[in-house]
Structure 1
Amino acid sequence: MTAEQAKPFVAPCHDLDIRAPFRWLKSGWQDFRAALGLSLAWGVFCWLISTLVTALAWKTGGAILLLSFFSGFVFVAPLLAFGMYSVSRQLCLGNKPGLLQTLRAARRPFTNSLVFALVLLVIFLLWARAGTMVHIFFPSTGEVKLEDLFLYLGVGSAVGAVFASICFMASVFSLPFIANRDVDVITAVVSSVNAVLRNRKTMFLWAVLVAFFTAVGFVTALVGFIVIIPLLGYATWHGYREALDVTGWDVLPQSQQGH
């Protein structure tokens, strides 16, 4: 039996207590402060990208396209934080992370991260298609009744919640796994979903916290994302380390990475 065949299909996961998400945020904030310049630089980059996309959405499609962008942000945010995993990784080893080092580390799993991005794109397109179908519930008569409007909003929110949940379960631990270990996308995604389902209450709390910070980012006209995106990226890394046992997979070559 080869080493590849001996690898499990799913990474073993640990039981997480309800306070775990707050530990991740605390550790993430410590990483943010330890690599302040790099964290702010990445945060500003993400803010500029978000601002540019927002401006283009408003200019080309108005409020409807802008709302679609805000709703679809959940599919893009995990990829925006991808570079932060290398920073936390180096800090865990006692090293001082640098920009070039971080970019090189983020480039190594490029193929797998690209495949995962395509998976998120497919989910997003399905969500967008489902969103257009929800419009059949929008009141079309001249007089809009309150109960009809509530039905439309309820169905739309339910559909959005389903796709957001799928995206969350698939990405929350898989991206740090891909960034750190020699693992295929399917194994990483299945391991992430399994860990979420095994720790429903804890991961629901983490999802609520992520949604809260995302809302803060939008309320602050995206400026808050300068801090929020790196913070959540670092926190996610610490969550991955606590949730999954990935010792069965090799560390990516030419990197000094810890579990």
Structure 2
Amino acid sequence: MSPTEKTDNNIHEPEATESPRLRPFVAPCRQLTPTAPLRWLKQGWQDFKQAPLLSMVYGSLFMLASWVIALWSWQVGSFTMLIVLFSAFVFLGPALAMGLYSVSCQLDRGMKPRIGFCLKQGRKRLGNQLVFAFALLVIFLVWARAAAIVNIFLPMARSPDFSELLTFLIIGSVVGFLFTLIVYAASVFSLPMIMDRDVDAITAVLSSINAVLKNKAAMLLWALIILGSVLVGFLTLFLGFIVTLPVIGYASWRGYRETIIGDEWQQDPETAA
């Protein structure tokens, strides 16, 4: 046996081991055209027409919740309470829309949307939903405290004149805008991602914020569309919510599917399109 052969026999090369692939901390996103939300809105309307009864059930629940908030605020005679309660409704809106995301998800699979399927999907992601809901609760409590401070420095009479009302609304709107901006960026894509992928709440929130920052023009248009749908609801004594809010929920799902690239995270076999 030659020395070369001896060397070859005595040397044991370590077996190649494939290191586990690390997932990115933030899901990448696609670059959107500024008018992309108009396409989402059209697709959301198509989803509404495919499941009109279930959509109107969800919309009616939003409408009834709005009536309860308005009636209770009227009885306690607090304009500030009305603003705070409606802000809570806006903050909780993304979580309440989980069922709407499930409807669009079922339509993607060619299924007839069912409430039971929505509840089943919701239970699978309950842990991450609770983490997200807790984060929203903390933000809302801080916002409510900020609103109370504004009311302390700018007390409102029971029947305020126009000047008092205008000052209160301007300052309150600026404070509310900052909190709303945080919630909007954190939630616009995170809850659809939690519904669709096996992803933790923190990664979903950071992925949503990243997508908003990289698509400012499109996301500004989407925010204005959401605001417009809420205004339509107010102008129709909340009757418009029966249609506008389900369409917005479906469109949010379409926006998520177009924007977020979540291939690194496993998709629920029951939600895979």
TM-score, scaled to structure 2: 0.85
Alpha-carbon deviations, 1:139-170, whole Å to 9, x = none?
799xx998876554332221111000001000
Does structure 1 residue 227 correspond to structure 2 residue 243? Answer: yes
Alpha-carbon distance between aligned partners in 2 of 1:55 and 1:152, rounded to the nearest angstrom: 22
Inter-CA distance 237–114: structure 2 relative to 1 (3 Å threshold): same
In the TM superposition, residue 61 of structure 1 has moved relative to its aligned partner by 5.1
Letter of the 2:202 counterpart: I
Letter of the 2:65 counterpart: I
Residues 170, 189 of structure 1: 8 Å contact kept: yes
Percent identity (aligned)? 47
3-state SS in 2 of match to 1:18: coil
Aligned partner of 2:82 in structure 1 is 66
Is 50-59 or 212-221 further displaced after alignment? 50-59
Is 11-20 or 129-138 further displaced after alignment? 129-138
The two structures, once aligned, show a CA RMSD in angstroms of: 2.3
Does structure 1 residue 99 correspond to structure 2 residue 92? Answer: no
Is 158-167 or 43-52 further displaced after alignment? 43-52
Does structure 1 residue 256 correspond to structure 2 residue 253? Answer: no
Letter of the 1:256 counterpart: T
Does structure 1 residue 37 correspond to structure 2 residue 53? Answer: yes
Alpha-carbon distance between aligned partners in 2 of 1:185 and 1:257, rounded to the nearest angstrom: 20
Instruction: State which structure, 1 or 2, has the greater radius of gyration over its C-alpha atoms.
Output: 2
Residues 90, 257 of structure 1: 8 Å contact kept: no
In the TM superposition, residue 137 of structure 1 has moved relative to its aligned partner by 4.4
Aligned partner of 1:117 in structure 2 is 133
Is 104-113 or 19-28 further displaced after alignment? 104-113
Alpha-carbon distance between aligned partners in 1 of 2:100 and 2:268, rounded to the nearest angstrom: 16
Does structure 1 residue 153 correspond to structure 2 residue 159? Answer: no
Q: Aligned to 1:206, which of 192, 214, 222?
A: 222
Alpha-carbon distance between aligned partners in 1 of 2:144 and 2:122, rounded to the nearest angstrom: 29
3-state SS in 2 of match to 1:10: coil
TM-score, scaled to structure 1: 0.89
Inter-CA distance 149–94: structure 2 relative to 1 (3 Å threshold): closer
Alpha-carbon distance between aligned partners in 2 of 1:235 and 1:122, rounded to the nearest angstrom: 27
Is 160-169 or 57-66 further displaced after alignment? 57-66
Alpha-carbon distance between aligned partners in 1 of 2:72 and 2:90, rounded to the nearest angstrom: 18
Does structure 1 residue 17 correspond to structure 2 residue 33? Answer: yes
Aligned partner of 2:205 in structure 1 is 189
3-state SS in 1 of match to 2:223: helix
Q: Aligned to 1:218, which of 211, 225, 234?
A: 234
Residues 178, 184 of structure 1: 8 Å contact kept: yes
In the TM superposition, residue 231 of structure 1 has moved relative to its aligned partner by 0.6
In the TM superposition, residue 203 of structure 1 has moved relative to its aligned partner by 0.3
3-state SS in 2 of match to 1:256: coil
In the TM superposition, residue 52 of structure 1 has moved relative to its aligned partner by 2.8
Aligned partner of 1:134 in structure 2 is 150
Inter-CA distance 107–53: structure 2 relative to 1 (3 Å threshold): farther
The aligned length equals 253
Note the residue ranges of structure 2 that are not aligned, 5 or more in a row.
Answer: 1-18
Alpha-carbon distance between aligned partners in 1 of 2:161 and 2:240, rounded to the nearest angstrom: 37
